[in-house]
Amino acid sequence: MITQKKLLPFLVFFLLFNKLFADENITIFQRNAINYNSDYFHIDDEFTILGNMKLNGKNIVLANNVHIWGESQRATWRFLLFLADGTFLGMYYGIAYDDIRIEGQRIYFSFEPEDGNVIDFSKGIPNKIRIDGHVIPYVKINDL
């Protein structure tokens, strides 16, 4: 028969073990975004690695983060850039999209070309972009 005295150490161990390994499926990229700003990024956000590209001889990982917040369940979209080692380089806010295509150093979005549908990284990370009729600044976090 298991007594309360025997169950307590097991329960404490179980809770600690669960806490230590609860986010083992989280990538280093999402973890570094959360560590940068836990008000913007959360473990339960929709976080997707989109692909990668070469920029100035470095492998850049592209990701998308969708954060749902508030009673109205509003969504905040962020297009994120990382180095391959997980270093969080920066982000563009507010690009809500269904599909992208990576071709060399260009990212194409499924918007009309006249409204802006491409980010061109051939000359480095642009300080601002025009996508779907919106001018969006780049938020730099770390140097390339």
Indicate whether 15 pLDDT > 70.
no
- Closest Cα to residue 109, out of 136, 140, 88, 127? 136
- Please state the pTM of the whole predicted model: 0.79
**What's the pLDDT tens digit per position in 49-66?**
999 999 999 999 999 999
pLDDT band at 76 (very low <50, low <70, confident <90, very high): confident
**What's the pLDDT tens digit per position in 99-140?**
899 999 999 999 999 999 999 999 999 999 999 999 999 999
